[in-house]
Structure 1
Amino acid sequence: MAALKFELQQKDPLSGARTGSIITEHGVIPTPIFMPVGTGGSVKALTQSQLKEEVKAKIILGNTYHLYLRPGIEVLEEAGGLHQFMNWQQPLLTDSGGYQVFSLAGTRKINEEGVMFQSHIDGSKHLFTPEKVMDIQRSIGADIIMAFDECPPYPSEYVYAQQSMQLTHRWLDRCFQRVEETTGKYGYAQNLFPIVQGGTYTDLRKASCDYIGSKNAAGNAIGGLSVGEPENMMYDLCGLCCDNLPADKPRYLMGVGTPWNILECIALGIDMFDCVMPTRNGRNAMLFTSKGIINIDNKKWEKDYSPIDDGIACETSNYYSKAYLRHLIKSKEILGLTIASIHNLAFYLHVVTEARKHIEAGDFTGWMKSSTEQFKVRR
């Protein structure tokens, strides 16, 4: 089994932006990359062929918490893992479920051992320990698996953020030990990424980066951002983490964000992104386009027969009109949710693909500035 490899290819002379390739046994992922979120083994409203051919996704996410509860580990193991179960033969990443567990604030208890929580489905009680989360991710079978961490809320007092970070580090040691004493179930390598925490405190963030960097993992993630803190604070902390994490490993910023957030963070040195925003907002009539943001519910689009977005290479975005999509959304036709989701995800993949091209061309900074201004326009 071959462990993940990361090849750095090009660096932007005016920023921290860079291009590279993440090489897994299920395929090569060009970076920077955006990863659609397929929480329960499905990117909502899309088929796997649409993800591959229309969105041009190179890697997608599953979630340990949701997949553990439904369909359950027994089903996934009998299917041969999530790749086989959902018939997706490209790379997969699984989030550890830490964020989902900690969002159940009223129904979970945290201690040194792990987290006791109640299922949001039937109220049954479950214990997630670092060891169990690694075992679950072994059964799911993703190429990249995430460490079990605690994500402190914003705002958090310094002492809480510090204790939370230290707990995350102790859990990380247990995650690595469990991975080292077990093997993958399906004949290919799984790669554990640790997660930087530390709240909004720069000294804690740096300490967490130092601890996580010392693990020499295949890649490293930054968690606990985009949880309510001001945008500029997010950028400052992200930049600090990029400066203190190993440059020869991929850096994954979890749960961020808008197209301009992604460009700003690419400029700081981030390689990997995920967010539910493109699909969630698409299902609620908000479209991100190459010419700005559209609320397709608005009456101004009722008789606009031009393509949704002819500025990106996506057949769905080029084929259907704004008027037709508005009609579908207003009529609550399921097809409307599919078209909007395909378009938004295709746009996000377009953004990171264009970023890669401009980093390689040496004009990323200027392109990013003009693109960010355009993407923010409310149409």
Structure 2
Amino acid sequence: MTRFSFSLTATDGAARTGVISTPRGDIRTPAFMPVGTAATVKAMMPDSVRATGADILLGNTYHLMLRPGAERIARLGGLHKFMNWDRPILTDSGGFQVMSLAELRKLTEKGVTFRSHIDGSKHELTPERSMEIQKLLGSDIVMCFDECPALPADDKRVAESMRLSMRWAQRSRDAFGDRPGHALFGIMQGGVTEHLRAESAEALTVIGFDGYAVGGLAVGEGQEAMFGVLDYAPAMLPTDKPRYLMGVGKPDDIVGAVKRGIDMMDCVLPSRSGRTGQAWTRRGQVNIKNARHADDPRPLDEDCSCPTCQGYSRAYLHHVFRAQEMISGMLLTWHNLHYYQEIMQGMRDAIAQGRFADWEVDFHRQREMGDIEKL
């Protein structure tokens, strides 16, 4: 059986390209993971997600434990079979959603008790229970259970939270056990404070993980502060393991993260934007709701090879959004996910060829041009 492994094939500055090998297939890095919160990438069929170029999806422990339940998914053959996706899946630990969504939550050394945002039922999530749920789901990459304080927060609060997360990381490691072919990632915390990030990285490295995430960013600190942390944080982590930036982001966030040594990212943005009439293109954002598109026979992006741009005009996309037709979210999401995967492929090629800096200049130059002129 293929074990979980990571090999770097090229670097260009801090930017890296490589391959994560898993029993369910290879993941080309840098990788963007579409988010399948409730065992579906909203408005997309699994085959269509794969067709955009995605090698791996993200599933959500918190949402799946509440509905339909991890034990039920296990009885039905695991998450891959349940959602008809036979390639790798990463599951988050549920910690972030407990902090952001759950009601009446109570945090102790043991874990978190909370009431479901769906029906108010009471639940407990601990490092051990998070590992159990993710094992029941059968995900290929499992995330440690951690606590993520919302920023801004003072250093004392950030330090206490980070140290709790490091104790939970050890408990997650112990509970995960030996699962050949499955990987466990640790999560670095420490807010925007360099010495706390260093302390967290050291603690995680001592425990030892198959990959490492940079957590606690994209939680309201702004791009400048995020890049400030990414200027030093990835280099604190082992070079020979994948580095995952959680919950990021906009296209220029992703490019800036890869430039600073990140290998994996996930974000709901391309799918959520698609459902609200926003398209991401190489020339920036397009708001399909706007009246200027009503008579426009041109595609969203003339250089895009996705089915949306190949088969449908802006006028049609404007019409179906206005008419609240289901196909609107489907077509815009497909385009957005395709565009995101195109960025990833562009970066992988550029890093391999040692021309990442030129690629990045071109990427920003095109985006600054803005949308095509109105007809």
Calculate the TM-score normalised by the size of structure 2.
0.96
User: Paired residue for 1:37?
Assistant: 35
Partner of residue 293, structure 2: 301
User: Which runs of structure 2 are paired with 1:108-127 in the superposition (5 Å)?
Assistant: 108-127=105-124
Q: One-letter code of the match for 1:262?
A: I
Q: Which amino acid aligns with 1:88?
A: W
Q: Give the conservation status (yes or no) of the 8 Å contact 1:263–1:372.
A: no
Q: Which moved more, 1:206-215 or 1:260-269?
A: 206-215
For residues 231-310 of structure 1, the aligned pairs below 5 Å read: 231-310=223-302
Structure 1 partner of 2:173: 176
Q: Which amino acid aligns with 2:29?
A: T
Q: Any stretches of 5+ residues in structure 1 without a counterpart?
A: none
- Asked if residue 201 in structure 1 is aligned to residue 193 in structure 2, the reply is yes
Q: Indicate whether 1:128 and 2:125 are aligned.
A: yes
Counterpart selection for 1:370 from 354, 362, 375: 362
Aligned to 1:19: 17
**Equivalent position SS for 1:6:** strand
Instruction: Describe how 1:25-174 pairs up with structure 2 within 5 A.
Output: 25-53=23-51, 55-104=52-101, 106-174=103-171
Residue ranges of structure 2 left out of the alignment (5+ in a row): none
Which residue number in structure 2 is paired with residue 356 of structure 1?
348
Matched-pair identity in %: 44
Which runs of structure 1 show a deviation greater than 6 angstroms over 4 or more consecutive aligned residues? none
Aligned to 1:313: 305
| Number of aligned residues | 371
Amino acid at match of 2:122: K
TM-aligned CA deviation for residue 376 of structure 1: 5.0
Deviates more, 1:366-375 or 1:114-123: 366-375
- Whether the aligned pair in 2 keeps the contact of 1:16 and 1:269 (CA below 8 Å) is yes
Range that drifts further, 301-310 or 239-248: 301-310
Give the drift of 1:312: 2.9
Q: Structure 1 residue 3: deviation in Å?
A: 3.3
Q: Which moves more between the two structures, 101-110 or 146-155? A: 101-110
Deviates more, 1:138-147 or 1:68-77: 68-77
Cα deviation code 1:222-272 (max 9, x no counterpart): 111011112111001022111111111110000011111101111101000
CA RMSD of aligned residues (A): 1.4
Contact between 2:187 and 2:215, CA under 8 Å: does it hold in 1?
Answer: yes
- Report SS of the residue matched to 1:23: strand
- C-alpha distance in structure 2 between counterparts of 1:160 and 1:315, whole Å: 48
CA distance in 2: counterparts of 1:84 and 1:46, whole angstroms: 17
TM-score (norm 1): 0.95
What's the counterpart of residue 335 of structure 1? Answer: 327
**Residues in 2 aligned to 1:56 and 1:324: alpha-carbon distance in whole angstroms:** 25
SS of structure 2 residue aligned to 1:214:
helix
Cα separation, 1, equivalents of 2:60 and 2:195: 30
Distance 2:364 2:208 in 1: 34
Q: 1:216 is matched with which residue? A: 208
Q: Aligned partners of 1:47, 1:106: CA distance in 2, in Å?
A: 32
Give the conservation status (yes or no) of the 8 Å contact 1:4–1:189.
yes
- The C-alpha deviation readout for 1:298-350, integer Å capped at 9, x for no partner, is 11111111122232332233221111111111111010000011110110000
Output the CA distance in 2 between the equivalents of 1:356 and 1:2. 23
Q: Helix, strand or coil: the match of 1:370?
A: helix
CA contact 2:127–2:171 (8 Å) conserved in 1:
yes
Give the letter for the 1:213 counterpart. Answer: T
Q: Distance in 2 between matches of 1:214 and 1:375?
A: 42
2:80 match: secondary structure: helix
- Partners in 1 of 2:230 and 2:138 — Cα distance? 29
SS of structure 1 residue aligned to 2:217: coil
